[in-house]
Amino acid sequence: MRDSGVLLQIIHAGMVKAGLDVAAIYTRLGYHADKLTQKDLRTPHRLQAFFWEIVEAVTGDPDIGLHLCPHLPVYRGEVIEYLFFSSPTFRDGCNRALKYLRLVSDALEVRLVEDEKGPRFTVIGAALQAPQLRHTEICMVYEAMQFAKSVTESNYKPLRVRLRCTQRAEVSEYEKVFGCPVEFEAEQNEIYFDPALLEYRSPRWDPDLLRLHEELAEKRLSSIERQDLIERIRTVFSQKLELEQCDLEDVAQELDVPARRLRFELARAGTSFSQLLSDFRYALARKLLRSTEEPIEHIVYLTGFSEPSTFYRAFKRWSGMTPVQYREQKRAAAREQNGKATADTLSAIVGATRKA
């Protein structure tokens, strides 16, 4: 499962606005904030627990998700927002937009429920069970409320909120953030609101624009599904490459996808099976040469080649150098970097000694 980069951008903007030490957070994560601007960024959902663990540790705040909420920008400017604006009513906008929630996250689950208890959104922001993911769900509940307020020109007002997580801060803090009564340890996150809002009519309703926005949403969803297919193919490569020769028919059978369909979807994604296999082998070869002491003879077979000569020719074609040259180049760069770090450390010690 993966999350859209827009979620990271929202949290990042909130952390900056709240004055958190984002440099320390990203250093401990081993991540660079400039990656957030990459188009079509999608990150593994399982990393969220690690992310929040680091944020908690750096800030010393066990309810950091709650305290970030007032600083989070509203989710906007995406096709889901356009679907709301161009739909005739709030109910119609909800039903359309929720079909395309995968554009935001594979793990995020939001539903519009209408029954005798009253209309409400149910929100599950995390597919995994980890205590740190309470922050994800609190932030997603808050974002859902602010988004609803935005697309209804502030007509949306929550009546009460029920959270799955336990209470950590004072109840008054939660109620100040959400603007309504808050309950805890519910079966699911719920946001109740006035039934009249369902009939709120969008002043921007336009059936022609609605059709265009739905087409755009379908196109983007298809692109994500093709990217998911590519990730599944790479997973099969990692499992089968050193055991046997990988060809399209083998992988298609493993994925339970007709070979013709697999070839067609890869073409639509702007790639091919042979290109994916070549890229995977090259990336794996670089990693093994750079990060391990595996003899090159072993790397030949780990990357799915039957003969060393074939591997050498392929690697020279990929990189412009032989595997031996590549390994030596990376080792030399590592030695230079380590030497610089040692020199900096010695310089600091000498400087400190002189001052003493």
Q: What is the pLDDT of residues 126-143, one digit of tens each?
A: 767 788 899 999 999 999
Q: CA 304 to CA 245: how far, in whole Å?
A: 6
pLDDT digits (tens, 9 = 90+) for 94-110: 999 999 998 888 888 99
Give the containing element (helix H, strand E) for 80.
Answer: helix 79-86
- For domain 2-199, give the fold: H-NOX domain (3.90.1520)
Task: Report the pLDDT value the prediction gives residue 316, as an integer from 0 to 100.
Answer: 95
- The fold of the 215-329 domain, in CATH, is Arc Repressor Mutant, subunit A (1.10.10)
Cα pseudo-dihedral 256, 258, 264, 266, rounded to 10: 30
Domain ranges of the chain: 2-199, 215-329
Task: Give the helix/strand (H/E) hosting 51.
Answer: helix 47-59
What token pair was written down for 143? 């974002």
Which residues pair with residue 43 across a beta bridge? Answer: 3
Per the DSSP assignment, residues forming a β-bridge with 191 are 121, 161
pLDDT category at 354 given cuts 50, 70, 90 is low
| 268-319 pLDDT per residue, tens | 989 999 999 999 999 999 999 999 999 999 999 899 888 899 999 999 999 9
- Answer whether 182's CB lies under 8 Å from 159's CB: no
Return the amino acid letter for 221: L
Alpha carbon 29 to chain centroid, angstroms: 14
pTM here?
A: 0.78
pLDDT band at 121 (very low <50, low <70, confident <90, very high): very high
Contact 156, 145 (CB under 8 A): yes
